[in-house]
Structure 1
């Protein structure tokens, strides 16, 4: 049992202290999927410092029969190399947004749950950096919204596929 514990401790220690692959200085693209109807986001990533950390900014929007909305998310991420072009990352952040609830306009001739909201978010995902300047990622971003309105005052499990050009 002691040998297994020692092997696991050494393996975890080497993973956490291993040198990560260099991440690109900038990446821009789309993040597709998402929770609560934010199906597309323009995504920008900027490397910070030399420790493979980065800032991600995402601008998402929605326009359908029930809601018109946008949100801006900002996340600080830590990136670790798995092997070769595979990385995994985790982060924390938050954002702001605005929603126009159109569900009540036609039926009741009154405004729905319109207004601004804020949210906090975590982030965990995996990415692959190709030999060409292309990166694909799959991530999970749980978001907790806060507002005076019921429409976005909740937990949202946000899962999305990212496609970004690196430069």
Structure 2
């Protein structure tokens, strides 16, 4: 019996997207039943993920407004023998309290990056040695705000790259954040 692997892979991707959509929908619905708790005015630390191969990013969060909203900026870089790259991601978060110091958050964002290839080790025929790219991102996650100035978070971040030859696709990133609050 011959199996069509492409059809199987496409069906599997559709099922994964369906689960992501349903989970997101359920979490947003849950948000309307929760009470807000104050978030820290500032937090700085590291986000350990695998965003398009970037791994660790320096992360800064700043509270905005009076409704538990914040802005997050993440700076990631990578340097290896095949290429050098840097990127900056900006996100807006709505934060909802689940219980005590346990919160969940979601929000949109965007970013810009630059990659420089070493053509001697990583040849790319008829393509430039370096490129700037842009992407849209979303973020949904949970966090725990300790009684001392430590914030731990776990998030899921889909990134939609376009307008380049490097990241013209969809990437999924899961990250663990460790931040000092002040």
User: Shared topology, TM-score over 0.5?
Assistant: yes
Describe how 1:80-159 pairs up with structure 2 within 5 A. Answer: 80-102=96-118, 104-106=119-121, 108=123, 114-149=130-165, 151-159=166-174
Q: Which deviations, in whole Å up to 9, do the C-alpha atoms of 1:55-96 show, x marking residues without a partner?
A: 001111111233211110110100000101100000101011
Aligned-partner SS, 1:106 = coil
Corresponding residue for residue 45 of structure 1: 61
Q: Which has more helix, going by share of residues?
A: 2
> Which consecutive residues of structure 2, in runs of 5 or more, have no partner in the other structure?
1-27
8 Å CA contact 1:134, 1:164 repeated in 2: yes
Aligned-partner SS, 2:121 = helix
8 Å CA contact 1:116, 1:147 repeated in 2: no
Q: Which has more strand, going by share of residues?
A: 1
Cα RMSD, aligned residues only: 2.1
